[in-house]
Structure 1
Amino acid sequence: MPQNKFYITLFILAGFISNAQLSFHNFGNLQIHDEGQVGFHLDVINDGTFDQNVGFAGFYNQNSLTISGSNRPVFHDMEIDVIDDLYLEVPVGVNNFQEFTNGRVFTPRDQIQVSLDYINDAPYLGENDDRYVDGYASITGQLDFSFPVGDDFRHRPVRIESQAATNTAKAAYFFENPNFPNFFPNNFDTNSFGDLLYGISIFEFWDVDGDQETRVTLTWDTNSNIPTLVNDLADLRVVGWDPNLEQWINLGNTFVTGDLDNGEITSELIVPDNFVALTFGTSGLILDGDLEIFTAVSPNGDGFNDTFVIQGLVQYPDNELFVYNRWGVLVYNRKAYHEVQQTSDAFNGISEGRATIAKGEELPVGTYYYVLNIEGTKDRAGYLYISR
């Protein structure tokens, strides 16, 4: 169809609202034909049929745009170049190719049915920390797929294997404490975990949904604070919240790559629908011997990790703890730490006034370094992280 006729048909069938120039509203049966190209600079409302497209659709604006309506539009090729982000109030499908050029795609995290849907293994390009799906994305297909999801200007993909999305799989990333999720009816208690686990991340989690067996690969960056869980990546595990047992379950470590600042880890074969949330855990002791160390400190009075705790330390009464900030300034020191770690004298993110750190002041959020001296043994050392 010649391009001029295409646009004439488009406006007649769509019922385009031209007086206020606020949105493009489809009431009828609309199609972008092969080699057709349409650029949307206004909000799109789809209350008709708009899912048989075989051309190109681009979304462009220096501000924000919204796609809404009663029916899901499905585009063949789709470009997103919306500086202040594209907001979905209805699911949107892509069945050939999608490119992130500028801006994120927001979906409502409390409405899992609203997602950016990749159909028939449709690929995408251009994702980074400024361009991703902030909310839920789905995939229907037969190939390996990495969900381009993130949160808080952090692209944090999660990957599933081939055949895992034959019945459609979905995923979203949440940069928030699993103990206090914002979009779930129940919390995921990081102090409740099964055998062979010693700690659970309090910084982030993913929701991955699918009814086919697959291995799941999680990714981390510096904000994941993996050193608060392990010193050795061999001890890192994928863990999942089992809603029936109401605890975190060890889902294994079949492959891990990277370092403590950036990397990825792959679980054993699991059915994602069996777990409400996935994150990182540790199955190894942080220190040698009988000591277990909880290196995430969140002194906010919520009862979770308010102080720095080393379980088993009572067996070694001749001990002394030192905590340093990232510049090597001593911020806490206590002999016989086992006697105070359950009291107000335990390390709870308050400076003891060493060097330039004023006594009694809250220490900033971040990574710190501890040294535990036990008489007659080699010093034990590692990282701990303060969050509030």
Structure 2
Amino acid sequence: MNKIIVIAIWFIAPITLSAQQAFHNFGDIQIHDQGQIGFHIDVINDGAFDNNLGLAGFYNADQSLTVSGDNRPVFHDMEIDVANDLNLEIAVGVTNFQEFIAGRVITPRDRRGVSLDFINDAPYLGANDDRYVDGYATINGLLDFTFPIGDDFRLRPMRIENAAAVNTARGAYFFEDPNNPNFFPTQFDTNSFGELLFGISNFEFWDLDGDVSTRVTLTWDDNSNIPTLVDDLDDLRVVGWDPNLNQWINLGNVGTTGDLDNGEITSEAFIPNNYTVITFGTSSLILDGDLEIFTAVSPNGDGLNDTFIIQGIAQFPNNELSIFNRWGVMVYNKKGYDNSWAGISEGRATIAKGEELPVGTYYYVLKIEGQKDQAGYLYINR
């Protein structure tokens, strides 16, 4: 849809178009029932623009748009059709219905108060891997809610129960290593965890803020690398970073759906504000016979997981390890593997010998004389 006409909109005080660069309100504006307004340029709101009915739409097929100013605009119905994304520099609210048509809504992740706010259980439609909130969203209402949040062009929803929305809950998804977060002043050490846990995901995490107890449902896809944590979903857990203990705490598993590549898990009830971030953990070790395979490699010289470790491999000197990239190209092979591989290519096809392999998921095959071949995924994170 491409609206260019303003219908039934009441201007009480001046607005400025600034040579068609922005719609700048510094007065009092109201969209009446059945009214419609389409913004094809940036919006600056320094006045009152929060008592609206009708529809407000953001449209641009070629450029991004930005909403800024001193005051939060609040719309009744809102649709977003901005191919190169709608950027929020102030919070924007919607009270009745919001539709994603094209582009993401991007909020600054270092400013949690700037968010897309779903007020009074306002629903949304159209979220997918290309259309979601890249940053923070909030919910206020009385119903269960699934945050339409994501990162790196991936929708990664998070669901909370109805009671948690009463006092407003806030959420965002981060596709990054919790050991080295970009938007938090502290690190979330995945080697520091409490009882009944044996490992923590170092691929992603969520930030959920709220002061009412709720069960939380997290989702995963094939980039979550769940097989590096568990081979049985019954062993998967939701975990939260306790800032007082400086460790990850087991938040439980009351049910999972899907498989190791795509699915969701629901935690036991907890108060979100007690935990800085949440992600996936495991309640069991991944054991292959007498071997323990550590499937995360971070060759950055910090002394932690700098090489691909197979604990117990020294007991089986007649072994052979092969590692392949996502296209099936062999990047490493060694007979008598000795836990020495640090993410350097041996040189096959398009992979140059001696070159550091990029961050990502790889596939290993371990052959041990007299035993069944063992295979699985590992992840390089620099």
The two structures have a TM-score, normalised by structure 1, of 0.89
Counterpart secondary structure, 1:273: helix
How far 1:361 moved relative to its partner?
Answer: 3.6
Structure 1's 228 and 49: CA in aligned 2 closer, same or farther, altered over 3 A?
same
Q: Residue 333 of structure 2 aligns with which residue? A: 332
CA distance in 2, matches of 1:356, 1:82: 38
1:168-207 maps to which residues of 2 (within 5 A)? 168-207=168-207
CA distance in 2, matches of 1:369, 1:291: 17
CA distance in 2, matches of 1:175, 1:214: 23
Structure 1's 14 and 42: CA in aligned 2 closer, same or farther, altered over 3 A?
farther
Counterpart contact for 2:199–2:281, Cα < 8 Å: yes
Deviates more, 1:243-252 or 1:223-232: 223-232
1:91-240 maps to which residues of 2 (within 5 A)? 91-240=91-240
How far 1:373 moved relative to its partner?
Answer: 5.3
Cα displacement string for residues 179-205 of structure 1 (whole angstroms, at most 9, x for unaligned residues)? 111111001111111122222111111
Q: Structure 2 counterpart of 1:384, which letter? A: L
CA distance in 1, matches of 2:346, 2:44: 59
CA distance in 2, matches of 1:298, 1:38: 51
Counterpart contact for 2:6–2:36, Cα < 8 Å: no
Q: Residue 265 of structure 2 aligns with which residue? A: 265
Cα displacement string for residues 208-256 of structure 1 (whole angstroms, at most 9, x for unaligned residues)? 1111111111111121122222222222211111111111111112111
CA distance in 2, matches of 1:53, 1:14: 16
Q: Structure 2 counterpart of 1:15, which letter? A: P
CA distance in 2, matches of 1:190, 1:370: 23
CA distance in 1, matches of 2:318, 2:26: 74
Q: Structure 2 counterpart of 1:134, which letter? A: D
Counterpart contact for 1:199–1:294, Cα < 8 Å: no
How far 1:377 moved relative to its partner?
Answer: 5.8
Structure 1's 240 and 51: CA in aligned 2 closer, same or farther, altered over 3 A?
same
Q: Residue 15 of structure 1 aligns with which residue? A: 14
Counterpart contact for 2:18–2:24, Cα < 8 Å: no
Counterpart contact for 2:197–2:284, Cα < 8 Å: yes
Structure 1 or 2: more strand by fraction:
2
CA distance in 2, matches of 1:31, 1:210: 31
How far 1:264 moved relative to its partner?
Answer: 1.1
How far 1:6 moved relative to its partner?
Answer: 3.6
1:85-96 maps to which residues of 2 (within 5 A)? 85-96=85-96
Q: Residue 342 of structure 2 aligns with which residue? A: 348
Counterpart contact for 1:285–1:291, Cα < 8 Å: no
Structure 1's 32 and 135: CA in aligned 2 closer, same or farther, altered over 3 A?
same
Q: Structure 2 counterpart of 1:368, which letter? A: Y
Q: Structure 2 counterpart of 1:225, which letter? A: N
Deviates more, 1:19-28 or 1:266-275: 19-28
Q: Residue 362 of structure 1 aligns with which residue? A: 356
Counterpart secondary structure, 1:99: strand
Counterpart contact for 2:16–2:25, Cα < 8 Å: no
Counterpart secondary structure, 2:167: coil
* Stretches of structure 2 lacking an aligned partner (at least 5 in a row): none
Q: Structure 1 counterpart of 2:334, which letter? A: N
Counterpart contact for 1:287–1:380, Cα < 8 Å: no
Q: Structure 1 counterpart of 2:182, which letter? A: N
How far 1:275 moved relative to its partner?
Answer: 0.8
CA distance in 1, matches of 2:116, 2:334: 51
Q: Structure 1 counterpart of 2:345, which letter? A: S
CA distance in 1, matches of 2:252, 2:307: 28
CA distance in 2, matches of 1:22, 1:371: 57
Q: Residue 66 of structure 2 aligns with which residue? A: 66
CA distance in 2, matches of 1:137, 1:296: 31
CA distance in 2, matches of 1:114, 1:330: 44
Counterpart contact for 1:16–1:23, Cα < 8 Å: no
CA distance in 2, matches of 1:366, 1:334: 24
Q: Residue 48 of structure 1 aligns with which residue? A: 47
Counterpart contact for 1:149–1:155, Cα < 8 Å: yes
How far 1:5 moved relative to its partner?
Answer: 8.6
RMSD of aligned alpha carbons = 2.4
CA distance in 2, matches of 1:81, 1:302: 45
Corresponding pairs, count = 375
The two structures have a TM-score, normalised by structure 2, of 0.90
Cα displacement string for residues 62-85 of structure 1 (whole angstroms, at most 9, x for unaligned residues)? 311111111111110001111211
Counterpart contact for 1:222–1:261, Cα < 8 Å: yes
* Stretches of structure 1 lacking an aligned partner (at least 5 in a row): none
Identity of aligned residues (%): 70
Structure 1's 356 and 109: CA in aligned 2 closer, same or farther, altered over 3 A?
closer
Structure 1's 218 and 14: CA in aligned 2 closer, same or farther, altered over 3 A?
farther
Counterpart contact for 1:319–1:372, Cα < 8 Å: no
CA distance in 2, matches of 1:68, 1:361: 45
